[in-house]
Structures are given as C-alpha cells and as structure tokens.
Amino acid sequence: MKEWPFLKKLSSLKKWPGLKKWPLLERWRFSQRRILWGLIGIVLLILLYTFAIIPLVEARKKADEEILLKRRALLRYEEYLGNRKIFEEELDRTLKQYEMIQGRLLAGETPQLGSASLQEIVRRVSEKDGVGIRSFRMLEPKETDSYRKVSIQIDFNPNNSMLNLGQFIYDIETHEKELMISEMDLLVLNIRMPNQVQGSMVISGLMKGTKLKEKGKER
C-alpha cells in the first residue's frame, strides 16, 4: 500500500533521538492502516446516511402524509353518509324545480316552432276571453345565457269590453307557460265610448336556449 507523504514524515519523526525523551509523544504513534480504516468508516457512515437513513425518513414522511389524506377522505365520506338523507332531499328538490322550469318553457327546438307554440297559446286565450286578433307577426328571437326569448306582435280588433281585454292581459301574464307582455299600444277610437279599444301587443315567451341544450346533452 502506497504511503501518504505526510505519514512518511510522521514515521520519520520516530527516528529522531530527541523524541525518545518525550513519553507523551511516543503514545501518539499510529499506523497508516488505522487512519485509512478510520476514513473508510467515515465514508461508510456518510453513504449509509445518504442512501439508507434519508430514504427511510422520506418514505416514512410520505407514508404519514398519505395516511393523513386518507383519514381526511374517510372523514368526508363518513360526513356524506351521515348527511346522505339531506343531500338526497336537496337533490330531489332541485330536480323538481328543474322539471317545473322546463314545464314553463315553450315547446319546440327552433325559434320558428317556439313562435308557433306561442301563437297557438295566445290564440286559445284570446278566443276564451273574447278578444279578436287581426294579425300575428313573428319578431326576431333573442338569446340569453340559458334561454331563448321568442316574441310575437298581435294586432287586435276594436274591443267593446275593457273587462274582456283586462282578462286577456291577466291570463297571458299568469299563464302556466313563462309568458309576458313586453309592449302594449292601445288606442281609444271614440272618447265618448272609452270602452271601445283597439291596438297591438308584443307577447314574449321563453324556450330552451343553445347553452341549456348543450348542458342537457352533457348530462
């Protein structure tokens, strides 16, 4: 084994005659082999710490984190099971509200079909209330976030009864479908006979919009 230079110097010090007079220095004699084994031991300890102890500590830490996450998930699941009845009731209530809203929309997949459905409803209500309609005209539909608003303009014949006209307006506004009178233009033909009224109205209804249909398909 090749000797290190500084160890050669230490070995050469042993030959000095003056050192024999110092017993303390004679006790500090050590071999190159002892130093080498000491260095090997230090290296082995470093390797053991780097490749064995540190990975074990990291693995333990990771395992503890996974256990904590699983415990939290288990607690959430237990909480869900405990509140399952409440969630089911809320879901059932939401579905009923959704079905109710869908029932208030006009039938049809296109604006033309929606307008035709709206026109048929207005025609039936006008016949029931005794209001004669002279013409229907489809207006440009408007898209909202989730719905499409379709409108028709009606021109009605002179009406001799304000009561009938008032009932017609009431029946449109309180219809089972989501209807509204967005514009109204009334004309009294004879001031001496104010009950005789004619004019026009814009009646609107809601139907499924493009975004709402896409959400329905995703379900």
Write the pLDDT tens digit of every residue in 163-204: 888 899 999 999 999 999 989 998 877 777 667 788 899 999
* Nearest Cα to Cα of residue 196 among 134, 137, 135, 131: 131
Query: Crossing angle, helix 111-129 and helix 162-173, to 10 degrees?
Result: 140
What torsion, rounded to 10 degrees, do the Cα atoms 82, 86, 91, 94 define? -160
Query: Crossing angle, helix 54-82 and helix 84-103, to 10 degrees?
Result: 60
Judge whether residue 81 has pLDDT over 70. yes
Instruction: Please report which confidence band the pLDDT of residue 211 belongs to, taking 50, 70 and 90 as the band edges.
Output: low
CA 162 to chain centre: 51
Residue 137 is inside which H or E element, if any?
strand 133-138
- Compute the distance between CA of residue 122 and CA of residue 105 in angstroms, rounded to an integer: 15
Strand pairing report for 133-138 and 179-190: unpaired
| Tokens describing residue 51 | 């490749």
Q: Give the mean model confidence (pLDDT) for residues 17-45.
A: 63
pLDDT of residue 167: 92
* Nearest Cα to Cα of residue 120 among 175, 182, 81: 175
In CATH terms, 107-215 corresponds, of 3.10.129.10, 3.40.50.740, 3.40.50.150, 3.30.70.60, to 3.30.70.60
